[in-house]
């Protein structure tokens, strides 16, 4: 795996710290210091902007623009949508003696920036030396309210170090935001309003008609005047500073995007502004800290070095683990069923804010075991967008529901037809996600009310898209792309086939049980979907007779028909300078060899882990691992989990090092574009499935703790069916503690164990 | 084959006649009545325009506009080019008593339009009844000078039938031409000039900087005034008509596009205008007739019905055959090495005027046997665009030369990456074309001077693009699209593999012979191409060990690895209403079954016919024919030739009926967009290779005459290595007559025969 860490940030158990400022690393820092509360996100931009290289981005989950595409062949989308930067609520200008604060131009020292993951507060401070000889310390704080996700807060502390006198401040709310990739502002005319220390502004996107209201209340002992600018509303003040006496400026912001517009939105905005007026920065911060304290109680993962020589490495891992967990919680926590998890969360405009199959395959497990309500909401997003999936299947001349590769609103938004039309893992992932959710939560109500309908429509889609080999009679999928995007139009991709087989089997099982258990709901479903029970025979015929190409050893699955005959490419022979390949190789060149981009066979062995023997897992891991270049950031964690299971702990740790610090160490050299949110979701999976050996694809949980040598402790808790459990892994034993809830049965190292009120110790 | 004739034109041995006017068929007629002289082309537009549905198109070979495309992955083109309508030299307005002539609005009778293939003159006449009660016969003639391809002529004859009086005429030259598909005019500002009965205009394309001059001399007994309009130059006249006395208006036009611009072009234009001033319409027409007479002497193909019941069908075939031959000669005759043959010639803007692999695979044989100089020029186009092919290979991370799928200037212009990056038959077609040309003409000078260099660079490309099966050690091509565009990214496509094998073998052979025969040129080639003789070993290793997947019967080639396992689709089960499939099926749907678009295996059995046994041809024909939907118009002729060879004469004739009248009977329902020029080139091949059984892939010609039952005679002549030969096939015997040249050896029905000064009779 040709990946090298790019160390920059200071290691700390609970913080990410930047000491001194490196302008060439500015965009990476902006991504790392991005904050979000699921609803609103903002990159770690300097409040005051300036000439430093920057991708200015303040995003609202669900606010996107649409674009018509050139009409092409049938089934290929002719419009797409993409997340756009919304209102810039941090907008600030500071002028001292006619010198504008711009860290690209002014003289400053003691620059420090830190993100505290126990409060979600980002703090930045430095001392500014003006040309006129003045010295002032500035401290900027911000946080996104996790308890009220329409609220965000900014604080600026001014400390005049060698003078008393005026400083000029302009603070505002601006829709004058440029989408960098498309070099355009997508906001229409604005409507502004001023009152004493209060401003608000409304605008609407040009084509998608998304109306947004933003309002701010200023808490500061100064008087302010109105300032008019294009698409923005601003207040200006001359603040009188007194030497050594800190002056505090607080800005409390409400941002609304709730579907209402015009007068209604204005009225709602005004009333919300009144509410936030009564809240102080400090009291909101207290609530915020309480929120994060609770988060860490449930979902913290603690590692400790076994030996001094590992202290630094393990401290980095600890920081990385927490950083990933922090990102997951701030990106998505089930706050709104209209939300999903963009590949880069709300941290940049790359990938257009789109959610992919990652939501179910990579992110869901974290929520299942730390925030089951969020897991439920994530699946409800798919239920609510079932109409769009039905429509998409029709476009593809198929039946049932085909879920999109990339979307913000349920419609397919991926403008690469080869992905949008040939990859079906979003649909099987939804089916898998439902199955996994019900397996872990036993929330069968969800299954009968919502899951069954999705499963039925996905099964229909798969049947209509399948084909039959005229010689063997086996079924499979022809002309598809599996997870491995380095082989485009293949037949009988074992991932697609196996996932479809399981989806069909599960649909059959659910329909059968539903008929008995909830006959009334079943009847409704039949009517709603015009379901004919004969369809089940088809589902069974196909799932029972699904092609699974396998090598002569009877163990190694062939990734697709003919994969074994592809010219062999030693992936280690590719110079590191040629990665990422898409930027250095002709597009078609990546399709001609045995090289694969990311786990494909290994992915289904991971997802349905308990269905395959160790022998099969070993054979496939050893065959495919050397052929994989991990160009997808989702890839290493899956390899790490399987490597750990196969006792290849060194390999498992090598992959884990990458997974846990993917963005903190800018491994893929593109963190500047935003965080790999759905990839770093795999950190939790990597640890809990890899090292604690959790398996959640049976009716009870399995554990096979395998503590890496360099750790003396791995401690984590999780929630499961109303219980909270704390696990502490040590070199010789593992302690299971039921923090609350009823006793539970588990399988530890393949042996039944019952966890009740006493701590359960299992020796390795 | 789901194709149904749409009969409209009157059958005639030498003419295409439209009696009466059907506005809904207007665009089809415009295509059928398109004229060209290789350099200039014009659709059968009404001179006077009007409100009748029309695609107004006057084209210049090599005049195109360029367009930047969205940057995508490496190897995918980021700019393209497309033919645009150029100067409208027919521009005419006629007004009588304030009523403008517009056949969409005025009252008229006796409309007749005819194209005479013995002169290349298009004539249109009708009687116009004005609202004011006047009655006038108008006759329009036009032709494109075949002997001076910068000249075109228009004549209008006015015959006042019931009055004497004035009629108003505006005649002009206009660059105000809209590209319909892109809804834009691509011509910049014009520069106009007037003199007595003489006008001229120059303009330049907006981005590609193509400068064009057009000038016209009017011969008519009337005085003219200047008229100014946007991007056009016009003359206005009040013509005094006298009852029953025809008034003749002639317009003689020069159109220049020779790379010069500004003052230089203006000067050249003015001098050319002086020249055409001295030529009369009638004298030019005499020369034109002489040209076509000579054409028909060499290349006419005559069929006669064996039985009265076939009279109509055979008359239709005769007309179709001549129409196709006429189109070939007017589209391309070797007038300029910068020209090639667009898929639609110069008859419409569809396919952007681009030339495809069709030039070598489908059109070359016609020229080889009727106009070898044109065949030579067609290949020289590829030699002159070798630099672009070298550049394209580099873009694809390959070596050597990769010829474009679609081009006007040698650069790849196909904006569908899946075709431009995955289809390599343009390159193997060039190699095949060189081989075929040298085989037929024995023009080895061409081979040493130009052919060898192309062959060498094509061989390099193929080697760099090939891959090796790690298990069998065989070579092949991975991730390609063969001719059959219904299977996109396949491995070991037997067409690509076999054509590459033959290309490599031929390159080895040519390099070896060149070294001995023309050592000086060989040395130059080595230096120019930096050739290392060790490369030959690689060429041999690959060509000797090329994978050719074959069924267990040892006869049937598998179109590509795994083709036999594709789900079977009974192509006859597809309703006719679903054709063309691209307009009715989701794009990806066409890729999932055994259905194929056009011959793939059968194509190489046709191209290298003598290399395969009848048994192999039969097995493959019988396997693939029922799976082929002939969505490409190139397809039926290949099937017809092979069917004839296999004695399946009914099938052969069924396909032939379609081929010979593809556009005259609008079989594909898209003749409105332009003629299928390169497909109708196959008519000649269909007859001569199919029914006369010509095979030209040996050192001497082979014939196996197989006269269809419905014909009592098939007569055609051809030119071969300085000889002219006339062949007359009758039911019982075939007569071979050497019209001039040295005696020649042939193989007739696999027996040696010598044709000398006496007529040779071979009994069937």
Question: What would the 3-class secondary structure string for A68-84 be?
Answer: ECCCCCCCCCCEEEEEC
Phi then psi for residue B541, to 5 deg, are: -55, -40
Rg, C-alpha atoms of chain A = 27
Instruction: Please determine, for residue A285, whether its predicted confidence score (pLDDT) is greater than 90.
Output: yes
Distance, in angstroms, between A72 CA and closest chain B CA?
A: 9
pLDDT, residue B2, reads: 66
CA atoms within 13 A on the CB side of B86: 29
Contacts of B73 in chain A (CB under 8 A): 582, 586-587
pLDDT, mean over chain B: 96
If you measure CA to CA, which chain B residue comes closest to A471? Answer: B565
Average pLDDT (B329-357) is 96
Q: Is the pLDDT of residue A482 over 70?
A: yes
Contacts of A582 in chain B (CB under 8 A): 73-74
Maximal CA-CA distance, chain A: 90
Q: Which H or E element spans position A128?
A: strand A121-129
Q: Which residues in chain A are contacts of B462 at CB distance < 8 A?
A: none
Q: B206: how many CB neighbours lie within 10 A of its CB?
A: 16
pLDDT at A1: 62
Mean pLDDT of A733-754: 96
**For tokens 């090939």, what's the residue?**
B466
Q: How many CA atoms lie within 13 A of A706 on its CB side?
A: 24
Does residue A277 sit in helix, strand or coil? Answer: helix
Contact residues, chain A, for B482 at CB < 8 Å: none
Q: In 3-state terms, chain A is what percent helix, strand and coil (to 5)?
A: 35, 25, 40
Query: Torsion-angle region of residue B259: left (phi > 0), alpha (psi -120 to 50) or beta?
Result: left
Average pLDDT over residues B700-729: 97
| Secondary structure letter of residue B688 according to DSSP | I
Q: Answer whether B472 sits within 8 Å of A417, measured CB to CB.
A: no
pLDDT, tens digit (0-9, with 9 covering 90-100), for A192-249:
999 889 999 999 999 999 999 999 999 999 999 999 888 999 999 999 999 999 999 9
Six-digit token string for B192: 């106009």
User: In Å, how far are A357, A626, A636, B14 from A599, measured between CA atoms?
Assistant: 14, 11, 9, 66
Residue A291 has pLDDT above 80, yes or no: yes
User: What would the DSSP string read from start to end of A22-69?
Assistant: -GGGHHHHHHHT-EE-SSEEE----TT--SS-----EEETT-EEEEE-
As a three-state string, the secondary structure of B329-365 is HHHCCCCCCCCCCECCCCCCCHHHHCECCHHHHHHHH
pLDDT given for residue B724 in this prediction: 95
Give the whole-angstrom CA distance, residue B429 versus residue B434: 8
Cβ–Cβ gap B467/A76 under 8 Å: no
DSSP H or E stretch at residue A761: strand A760-763
The b-or-e profile of A82-99 (16+ CB within 10 A means b, else e) is bbbbbbbbbbbbbbbeeb
E strand intervals along B196-231: 198-204, 211-219, 225-229
Are B694 and B366 within 8 A, CB to CB? no
Reduced to 3 states (helix: H, G, I; strand: E, B; else coil), residue A230 is coil
**Closest CA relative to residue A692, chosen from A721, A744, A734:** A734
Q: Provide the pLDDT for residue A580.
A: 87
Residues of A with CB under 8 A from a CB of B: 72-76, 395-398, 417-418, 421-422, 467-472, 478-479, 488-491, 561-562, 564-568, 582-589, 591-594
> Cβ of B561 and A566 within 8 Å?
no
Q: Is the pLDDT of residue A2 over 80?
A: no
At B29, the pLDDT band (50, 70, 90 cuts) reads very high
Nearest residue of B to residue A393, measured between CA atoms: B586
| Mean pLDDT for the stretch of residues A5-29 | 96
How far, in Å, are B55, B156, B284, B331 from residue B144 at the CA level? 19, 15, 10, 11
Q: Flag whether pLDDT at A41 surpasses 90.
A: yes
Residue B580 has pLDDT above 90, yes or no: no
| pLDDT tens digits for range B543-561 | 999 999 999 999 999 999 9
Rounded to an integer, the average pLDDT of B271-281 is: 97
Inform me whether the pLDDT recorded for A578 exceeds 70. Answer: yes
Closest in A490, A491, A565 to B471, CB measured? A565
Which residues from B are below 8 Å from A when comparing CB atoms? 72-76, 395-398, 417-418, 421-422, 467-472, 478-479, 488-491, 561-562, 564-568, 582-589, 591-594
**Cα three-residue angle A291-A297-A299, rounded to 5 degrees:** 100
pLDDT at B565: 97
Residue A156 has pLDDT above 80, yes or no: yes
Q: How confident is the model at residue B576 (pLDDT cuts 50, 70, 90)?
A: confident
To test the contact with chain B by mutation, choose from A586, A591, A595 the residue with the greatest count of B C-beta atoms within 10 A, namely A586
Measured CA distances, A158 to A116, A161, A172, A244, B637 (Å): 21, 9, 18, 9, 85
pLDDT > 90 fraction of chain B, expressed in percent and rounded: 96
Tell me the pLDDT band of A680, cut-offs 50, 70 and 90: confident
Locate tokens 């898929």: which residue? Answer: B343
Residue A51 pLDDT > 90: yes
In the predicted structure, residue A596 carries a pLDDT above the cut 90: yes
Q: How confident is the model at residue B211 (pLDDT cuts 50, 70, 90)?
A: very high
Rounded to the nearest angstrom, the gap between the alpha carbon of residue A440 and the centroid of all alpha carbons in its chain is 21
Whether B452 contacts B383, CB under 8 Å: no
The DSSP code sequence of A474-510 is: -EE--SB--S-TTS-SBSS-HHHHHHHHHHHHHHHHH
Q: Backbone phi, then psi, for A239, in 5-degree steps?
A: -100, 130
Q: Which residue is listed with tokens 């500004």?
A: B262
Q: Which residue has the higher pLDDT, B5 or B429?
A: B429
Domains of chain B: 86-295 (2.70.98.40)
Before B580, cis peptide (omega within 30)?
yes
Quick one: which of B331, B325, B337, B360 has its CA closest to B437? B360
pLDDT mean across residues, chain A: 96
Q: Which of B327, B326, B333 is nearest to B300 (CA)?
A: B326
What percent of chain A is modeled with pLDDT above 70? Answer: 100
Q: What is the pLDDT of residue A434?
A: 98
Distance in angstroms (rounded) separating the CA atoms of residues B718 and B300:
9
Q: Is the pLDDT of residue A300 over 70?
A: yes
B288-323 in b/e form (b: 16+ CB < 10 A) is: bbebbeebbebbebbbbbbeeebeeebbbbbbbbbb
Record the pTM.
Answer: 0.95
Task: Respond yes or no on whether the N-terminal peptide bond of residue A513 is cis (omega within 30° of 0).
Answer: no
- How many Å apart are CA B415 and CA B405, to the nearest integer? 10
Quote the tokens at residue A531: 């379901």
Contact A489 B491 (CB under 8 A): no
**In this complex, do B584 and A74 lie within 8 Å of one another by their Cβ atoms?**
yes
Tens of pLDDT, residues A447-471: 999 999 999 999 999 999 999 999 9
What does DSSP assign to residue B269? H
pLDDT digits (tens, 9 = 90+) for A537-575: 999 999 999 999 999 999 999 999 999 999 999 999 999
- Is residue B509 scored above 90 in pLDDT? yes
Instruction: Please check whether residue A127 is in contact with residue A136, taking contact to mean a CB–CB distance below 8 angstroms.
Output: yes
Residue of A567, A636, A644 whose CA lies nearest to A598: A636
pLDDT of residue B557: 98
Sorted by sequence, the CB contacts under 8 Å of residue A604 that are 6+ apart come out as A494, A495, A498, A499
Condensed to tens digits (0 to 9), the pLDDT of residues B632-686 reads: 888 999 999 999 999 999 999 999 999 999 999 999 889 999 999 998 899 999 9
- Residues 6 or more apart in contact with residue A546 via CB below 8 angstroms: A474, A475, A476, A497, A498, A500, A501
What is the tens place of the pLDDT at every residue in B465-506?
A: 999 999 999 999 999 999 999 999 999 999 999 999 999 999
Cα(A117)–Cα(A319) distance, rounded to whole angstroms?
10
d(CA A384, CA A336): 12
Average pLDDT value for residue range A665-670: 91
CA atoms within 13 A on the CB side of B44: 27
Q: Is B261 helix (H, G, I), strand (E, B) or coil?
A: coil
């Amino acid at each position: 795996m040709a990946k090298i860490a790019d160390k920059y940030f200071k290691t700390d158990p609970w913080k990410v710290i930047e000491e001194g400022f490196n302008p060439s690393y500015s965009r990476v820092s902006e991504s790392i210091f991005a904050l979000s509360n699921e609803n609103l996100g903002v990159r770690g931009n300097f409040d005051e902007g300036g000439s430093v290289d920057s991708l200015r981005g303040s995003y609202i989950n669900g606010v996107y623009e649409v674009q018509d595409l050139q009409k092409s062949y049938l089934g290929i989308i002719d419009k797409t949508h993409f997340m756009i930067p919304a209102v810039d609520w941090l907008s600030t200008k500071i002028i001292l003696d006619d010198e504008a604060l711009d860290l690209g131009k002014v003289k400053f020292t003691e620059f420090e920036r830190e993100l505290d993951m126990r409060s979600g507060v980002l703090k930045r401070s430095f001392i500014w030396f003006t040309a006129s000889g003045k010295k002032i310390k500035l401290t900027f704080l911000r946080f996104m309210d996790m308890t009220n996700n329409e609220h965000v807060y900014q604080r600026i502390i001014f400390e005049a170090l060698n003078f008393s006198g005026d400083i000029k401040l302009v603070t505002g709310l601006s829709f004058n935001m440029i989408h960098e990739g498309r070099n355009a502002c997508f906001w229409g005319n604005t409507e502004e309003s001023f009152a004493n220390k209060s401003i608000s502004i409304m605008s609407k996107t040009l084509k998608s008609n998304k109306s947004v209201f933003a309002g701010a209340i200023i808490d500061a002992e100064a008087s302010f005047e109105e300032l008019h600018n294009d698409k923005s509303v601003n207040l200006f003040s001359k603040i009188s500073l007194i030497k050594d006496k800190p002056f505090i400026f607080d800005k409390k912001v409400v941002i609304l995007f709730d579907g209402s517009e015009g007068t209604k939105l204005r009225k709602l905005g005004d009333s919300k502004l009144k509410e936030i007026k009564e809240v102080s920065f400090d009291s909101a911060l207290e609530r915020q800290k309480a929120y994060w304290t609770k988060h860490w109680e449930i979902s913290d993962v603690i590692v400790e070095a076994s030996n001094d020589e590992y202290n630094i490495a393990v401290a980095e891992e600890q920081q990385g683990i927490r950083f990933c967990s922090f990102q997951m919680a701030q990106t998505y926590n089930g706050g709104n069923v209209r939300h999903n998890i963009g590949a880069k969360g709300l941290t940049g405009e790359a990938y257009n804010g789109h959610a992919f199959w990652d939501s179910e395959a990579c992110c869901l497990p974290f929520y299942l075991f730390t925030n089951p309500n969020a897991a439920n909401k994530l699946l409800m997003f798919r239920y609510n967008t079932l109409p769009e999936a039905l429509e998409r299947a029709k476009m593809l001349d198929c039946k049932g529901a085909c879920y999109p590769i990339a979307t913000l609103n349920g419609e397919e938004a991926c403008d690469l037809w080869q992905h949008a039309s040939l990859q079906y893992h979003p649909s099987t992932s939804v089916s898998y996600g439902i199955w996994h959710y019900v397996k872990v939560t036993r929330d069968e109500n969800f299954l009968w009310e919502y899951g069954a309908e999705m499963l039925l429509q996905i099964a229909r889609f798969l049947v209509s898209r399948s084909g039959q080999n005229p010689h063997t009679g086996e079924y499979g999928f022809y002309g598809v792309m599996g997870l491995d995007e380095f082989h485009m139009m293949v037949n009988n991709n074992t991932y697609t086939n196996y996932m479809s087989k399981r989806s069909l089997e599960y649909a059959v099982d659910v329909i059968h049980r539903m008929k008995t258990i909830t006959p009334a709901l079943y009847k409704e479903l039949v009517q709603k979907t015009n379901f004919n029970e004969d369809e089940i025979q088809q589902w069974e015929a196909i799932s029972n007779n699904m092609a699974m190409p396998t090598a002569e050893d009877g163990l190694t699955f062939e990734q697709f028909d003919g994969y074994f005959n592809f010219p062999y490419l030693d992936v280690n022979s590719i110079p590191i300078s040629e990665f990422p390949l898409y930027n250095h190789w002709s597009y078609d060149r990546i399709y001609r060899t045995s090289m694969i981009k990311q786990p494909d066979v290994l992915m289904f062995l991971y997802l349905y882990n308990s269905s395959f023997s160790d022998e099969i897992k070993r054979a496939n891991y050893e065959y495919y691992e050397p052929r994989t270049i991990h160009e997808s950031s989702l890839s290493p964690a899956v390899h790490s989990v399987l490597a750990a299971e196969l006792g290849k702990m060194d390999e498992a740790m090598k992959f884990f090092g990458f997974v846990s610090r993917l963005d903190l160490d800018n491994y893929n050299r593109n963190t500047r574009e935003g965080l790999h949110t759905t990839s770093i979701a795999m950190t939790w999976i990597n640890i809990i499935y890899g090292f604690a050996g959790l398996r959640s694809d049976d009716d009870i949980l399995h554990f096979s703790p395998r503590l890496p040598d360099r750790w003396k402790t791995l401690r984590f808790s999780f929630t499961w069916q109303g219980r909270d459990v704390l696990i502490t892994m040590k070199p010789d034993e593992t302690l299971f503690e039921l923090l609350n809830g009823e006793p539970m049965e588990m399988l530890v190292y393949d042996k039944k164990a019952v966890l009740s009120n006493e701590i359960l110790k299992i020796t390795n």
